[in-house]
């Protein structure tokens, strides 16, 4: 049918609700144009309509796969609430000329003619094979006809500028298949082809899945490099948009590749800590026991090149999915399906924790300027850092005011002093991150700068990072390419209410907040170990 028609009829198992290709086609009402036919150039006023076809493939055999078609109209055209196509008056340019509001006023056609009452249109409300349109609410306002075609069968549907169709995959052969859709618009005497689209979808007997690996302090989650002695979270995501596996018993068998053995769980989330350095092969097998109606055993549709194993598995060691039905003690029946995931990860030394152990003010001379400087004495656990980043933000830790990143040289123990400038009174959230090639660890402090006081003591409160949410300051950090993966934490406004005793007193507050030249001041090099 349409672009999906072929000169011969292939043998396929019947899809529920779909019709075979050999049915009669009314080419007078639904003309068929080959690709390259010049009539395509005049099938739509003002340009060309493009049909976008998408699907939620891959689909596990037995589940549903859903296809969505969306029509993209020529520039400055859109569908209104009555399903007519109108010109968008907000889309004018020098060459735009809209003599009429409508591109296609189908409402007027229907109201003037009554559609069924017109002599020339009394047989229009039917599909290409002669079946009448479904009389659901608003059916007369559906001005597009969508003809879906796959595996030798077709499905017909009316709609507006988009249409959705779902099909069950039980009787579809495993592997790649093609879906073709042809779109017609309402015309005065016939339906007019306006667009076609096609797309590949996949039916598989392996459970589609992926695993998301995350680890605290890991600098780049996409490089498969993780930190020793820090838990890694493995989150399994099963692709099941039609919820076919909702009532299934699902088990997850893990082998982390470090000699710790195999672990079976019924939770999709698992954690594991690698205590050794090196490369490790991670293996996951997912088993789904799917309840099905009891009856004659229906094997899985054959693979394109070889049949499916028919041995019924008894445990998670079976690597092959099977469609063989098995009776259970409770009188029900079920089938087994399996999914697999394999990857290799590298485990290296990394920075595990950062702490601010002291905050002190720096005595200033007149020659050194009027900026107030604070020294943050920082320690860390794990490997030695190669860079340090500081973000100074508002009290909620949400609005960045200044970002400074510097390379550091720590050769013995992880103990360094980070000096930063403040020159206006107020409360600030300070995020300090130490990083190396594989890891980065963060700590935060909330400090208050109180101008006009003679006291030179520094007091502050450390922010528990476990209770804070990561806040991404992408625009600012793009200026620091080497440190672009640094993400400060954020603090809710409620956490800043109690500020009693949190004061850092400085005198002579005049200049602009956090000028860049002050952050690079030679004072930063006047004391060993200060960055």
Cβ neighbours of residue 245 closer than 8 Å, sequence gap 6 or more: 60, 63, 207, 238, 288, 290
Q: Which residue has the higher pLDDT, 119 or 377?
A: 377
CA distance 178 to 150: 6
The b-or-e profile of 403-436 (16+ CB within 10 A means b, else e) is bbbeebebeeebebbbbbbbbebebbbbbbbbbb
- pLDDT category, 59, cuts 50, 70, 90? very high
CA distance 232 to 345: 11
Q: What are phi and psi of 238, to 5 degrees?
A: -90, 130
Cβ neighbours of residue 237 closer than 8 Å, sequence gap 6 or more: 209, 210, 211, 212, 268
Lowest mean pLDDT among 380-394, 429-443, 502-516: 502-516
CA–CA distances in Å: residue 344 to residues 147, 234, 260, 284:
45, 13, 16, 12
Arithmetic mean of pLDDT, 246-272 = 96
CA distance 514 to 393: 11
Q: What are phi and psi of 497, to 5 degrees?
A: -65, -45
pLDDT > 90: what percent of the chain? Answer: 43
If you search the block for the tokens 């039609």, which residue do you land on?
242
pLDDT of residue 181: 96
* 197-239 per-position pLDDT tens digit: 999 999 999 999 999 999 999 988 889 999 999 999 999 999 9
Short-list 482, 476, 398, CA closest to 440 = 482
- pLDDT category, 465, cuts 50, 70, 90? very low
Q: Which residue has the higher pLDDT, 426 or 407?
A: 407
Phi-psi region of 444 (alpha: psi -120 to 50; beta: other; left: phi over 0): beta
CA distance 140 to 144: 10
Q: Is the pLDDT of residue 146 over 90?
A: yes
Short-list 184, 126, 133, 157, CA closest to 2 = 184
Reported as type and span, the H/E element at residue 474 is helix 474-477
Please check whether residue 462 is in contact with residue 444, taking contact to mean a CB–CB distance below 8 angstroms: yes
SS (H, E, C) 383-451: CCCCEEEEEEECCCCCCEEEEEEEECCCCCCCEEEEEEEECCCEEEEEEEEEECCCEEEEEEEEEEEEE
CA distance 172 to 202: 10
Lowest mean pLDDT among 92-106, 153-167, 287-301, 498-512: 498-512
Lowest mean pLDDT among 272-276, 375-379, 456-460, 469-473: 469-473
Residue 376, Cβ density class (10 Å: 0-12 exposed, 13-18 middle, ≥19 buried): buried
CA distance 300 to 173: 9
Arithmetic mean of pLDDT, 153-165 = 93
Please check whether residue 416 is in contact with residue 531, taking contact to mean a CB–CB distance below 8 angstroms: yes
CA distance 288 to 251: 7
CA–CA distances in Å: residue 71 to residues 35, 103, 183, 190, 458:
19, 15, 9, 20, 64
* 480-513 per-position pLDDT tens digit: 343 434 444 444 433 333 333 333 322 222 222 2
Please check whether residue 504 is in contact with residue 361, taking contact to mean a CB–CB distance below 8 angstroms: yes
Q: Is the pLDDT of residue 93 over 80?
A: no
Residue 375, Cβ density class (10 Å: 0-12 exposed, 13-18 middle, ≥19 buried): middle
Max Cα distance, the chain (Å):
99
């Amino acid at each position: 049918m349409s672009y999906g028609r072929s000169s011969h009829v292939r043998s396929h198992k019947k899809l529920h609700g779909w019709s075979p290709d050999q049915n009669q086609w009314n080419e007078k009402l639904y003309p068929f144009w080959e690709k390259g036919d010049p009539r395509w150039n005049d099938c739509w006023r003002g340009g060309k309509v493009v049909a976008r076809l998408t699907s939620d493939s891959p689909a596990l055999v037995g589940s549903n796969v859903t296809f969505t078609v969306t029509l993209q109209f020529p520039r400055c055209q859109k569908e209104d609430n009555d399903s007519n196509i109108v010109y968008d008056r907000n889309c004018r340019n020098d060459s735009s000329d809209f003599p009429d509001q409508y591109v296609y006023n189908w409402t007027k056609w229907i109201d003037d003619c009554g559609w069924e009452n017109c002599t020339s249109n009394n047989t229009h409300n039917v599909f290409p094979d002669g079946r009448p349109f479904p009389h659901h609410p608003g059916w007369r306002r559906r001005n597009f006809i969508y003809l879906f075609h796959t595996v030798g069968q077709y499905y017909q549907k009316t709609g507006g500028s988009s249409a959705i169709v779902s099909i069950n995959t039980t009787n579809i052969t495993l592997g790649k298949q093609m879906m073709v859709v042809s779109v017609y618009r309402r015309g005065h005497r016939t339906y007019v082809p306006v667009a076609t689209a096609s797309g590949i979808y996949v039916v598989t007997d392996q459970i589609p899945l992926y695993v998301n690996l995350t680890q605290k302090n890991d600098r780049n989650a996409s490089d498969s490099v993780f930190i020793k002695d820090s838990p890694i979270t493995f989150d399994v995501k099963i692709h099941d948009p039609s919820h076919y596996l909702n009532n299934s018993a699902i088990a997850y068998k893990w082998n982390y590749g470090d000699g710790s053995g195999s672990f079976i769980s019924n939770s999709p989330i698992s954690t594991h800590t690698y205590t050794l350095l090196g490369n490790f092969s991670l293996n996951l097998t997912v088993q789904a026991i799917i309840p099905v109606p009891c009856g004659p055993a229906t094997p899985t549709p054959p693979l394109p090149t070889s049949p499916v194993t028919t041995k019924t598995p008894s445990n998670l060691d079976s690597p092959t999915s099977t469609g063989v039905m098995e009776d259970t003690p409770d009188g029900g029946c079920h089938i087994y399906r399996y999914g697999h995931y394999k990857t290799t990860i590298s485990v290296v030394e990394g920075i595990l924790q950062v702490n601010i152990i002291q905050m002190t003010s720096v005595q200033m001379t007149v020659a050194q300027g009027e900026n107030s400087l604070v020294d943050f004495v920082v320690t860390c656990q794990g490997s030695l850092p190669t860079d340090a980043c500081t973000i100074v933000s508002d009290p909620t830790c949400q609005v960045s005011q200044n970002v400074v990143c510097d390379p550091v040289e720590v050769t013995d123990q992880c103990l360094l002093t980070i000096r930063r400038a403040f020159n206006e009174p107020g409360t600030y959230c300070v995020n300090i991150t130490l990083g190396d090639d594989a890891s980065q660890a963060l700590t935060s402090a909330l400090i208050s700068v109180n101008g006009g006081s003679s006291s030179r003591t520094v007091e502050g409160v450390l922010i528990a990072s476990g209770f804070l949410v990561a806040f991404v300051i992408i625009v600012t950090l793009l200026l620091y390419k080497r440190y672009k993966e640094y993400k400060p934490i954020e603090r809710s406004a409620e956490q800043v209410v109690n500020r009693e005793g949190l004061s850092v007193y400085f005198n002579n507050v005049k200049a602009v907040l956090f000028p860049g030249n002050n952050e690079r001041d030679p004072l930063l090099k006047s004391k060993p170990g200060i960055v």
